Amino acid sequence: MSTPATPPGFSTLAIHAGASPDPTTGARVTPIYQTASYVFNSVDHAASLFGLEAFGNIYTRIGGPTQSVLEGRVAALEGGTAALAVASGHAAQMIVFYTLLEAGDEFVAARQLYGGSVNQFNHAFKKFGWAVAWADGTDPDSFERAITPKTRALYCESIANPGGVVVDIAAISKIAKKHGLPLIVDNTLASPYLCRPKEHGADIIVHSLTKFLGGHGNSIGGIIVDCGTFDWLKAKHKYATLVEPNASYNGMKLAETFGNFAFAIACRVMGLRDLGPAIAPLNAFLILTGIETLPLRMERHCANALAVATHLAKHPKVAWVNYAGLPTAKDHAIQQRIAPKGAGAVFTFGLKGGYEAGVGLVSKVKLFSHLANIGDTRSLIIHPASTTHRQLTDAQRVAAGAGPDVVRLSIGLEDVADIIADLEQGM
């Protein structure tokens, strides 16, 4: 897409960014380049690609044309300098920390996270010699209290899963900058339509593309966005993968060579190349198609979610509702500042009957699908304590916003009257 005199709007970027008609066939929709590898123009061309002297296609584990369009589109929507698409949201987190950390390093994360992330950080990362320190996403100062000389990054979700807490990214970014640390923000629940973390001080953004960006529950993917805002060469701490001579590339120093998109390059040529969690071209294509309607879907998601949350807040069988879009929510003011277009589609609530009532509701709904996903066109329901957060201790579940009475909803695009009616009959 050519650069116009004035920057294109969000909806235009969602349809056009990163893409152009196929130069060989004229196909308007980005094709699915279903191939494992690519022919080089010459011996010199091959050498330049392998030496990072030129950009192009080598092998689908490292990237391809369909993935490249997806990466360019999400980078544009987030305002980043570059992006890297990978096999899943978990793979995105893995690659980010693999690029940042060495054995013995630590990072600080908000405890209000998706249960799978809590598990990954607490257990899987130990095998790499990485340690996590937990902070409270509702208390930015708790991040500073958790920082040690070994800390190399701060991590949070813009809107926390499952609790729906809206995090004050700017306040956490201020602490990160004070200590010379990059801030990583998982923007899955908000999507760039509701919140662009870079504008609030994030340096690296991750998404599970499976959720709202793809939007249809038909493909798995993740993405890393380099905001281009962290100066690796002047960092207080040494990030070896970025600043030290790289033996894989004849001593090249990636941060010196690639400047404000060096982190994205390092994630690709070190993390993705060696660990291998590549996204399939078909999945990249399906997610690209989903992104084209992201603005329309997010408007409907948010409108429906607010209507359902408002209804539940007045219901005699409901003990509490945690949705930042409600004027009475404790994080409503932060939501209005961080994500003024809406508080998203995911929120939690508790029935007065506690654990048994929550499990009973999940068992009785008919329109809602009981499954472990969010961000679908369909309305989804789950009881986190017995599913997504089951592997955590009771205390960890409560801390993550997934206590025994918690029911999580991901409100879809159906008629809101039908959504409410299904919850009513289920209760």
> What is the domain-level CATH number for residue 279?
3.40.640.10
Give yes or no: residues 324 and 285 share one domain: no
For residue 3, the model assigns a pLDDT of: 58
Give yes or no: residues 199 and 230 share one domain: yes
Give 218's pLDDT tier (boundaries 50, 70, 90): very high
For residue 163, the model assigns a pLDDT of: 79
Judging by beta carbons within 10 Å of its beta carbon (0-12, 13-18, 19+), is residue 253 exposed, middle or buried?
middle
For the ranges 114-118, 225-229, 419-423, the lowest mean pLDDT is seen at 114-118
| Structural domain count, the chain | 2
Range of the domain at 339: 295-426
Give yes or no: residues 96 and 207 share one domain: yes
For residue 269, the model assigns a pLDDT of: 97
Q: How far apart are alpha carbons 338 and 159 in whole angstroms?
A: 10
Give yes or no: residues 285 and 333 share one domain: no
Domain boundary (255, 272, 290) is at: 290
Q: Residue 240 domain-assigned?
A: yes
Mean pLDDT, residues 70-91 taken together: 98
Q: Residue 4 domain-assigned?
A: no
For residue 404, the model assigns a pLDDT of: 83
Mean pLDDT, residues 403-427 taken together: 95
Give yes or no: residues 68 and 180 share one domain: yes
Give yes or no: residues 275 and 354 share one domain: no
Give yes or no: residues 176 and 304 share one domain: no
- Which tokens belong to 311? 């209804």
Q: Which residue has the higher pLDDT, 417 or 359?
A: 417
* pLDDT tens figures, 29-57: 999 999 999 999 999 999 999 999 999 99
Residue corresponding to tokens 């405890």: 111
Give yes or no: residues 236 and 107 share one domain: yes
For residue 383, the model assigns a pLDDT of: 87
Q: Which residue has the higher pLDDT, 354 or 370?
A: 370
Cβ contacts of 311 within 8 Å, gap of 6 or more: 420, 423
Statement: residue 288 has pLDDT above 90: yes
Contact, 188 vs 207, CB < 8 A?
yes
| Entry pTM | 0.94
Q: How far apart are alpha carbons 118 and 91 in whole angstroms?
A: 14
Give yes or no: residues 323 and 266 share one domain: no
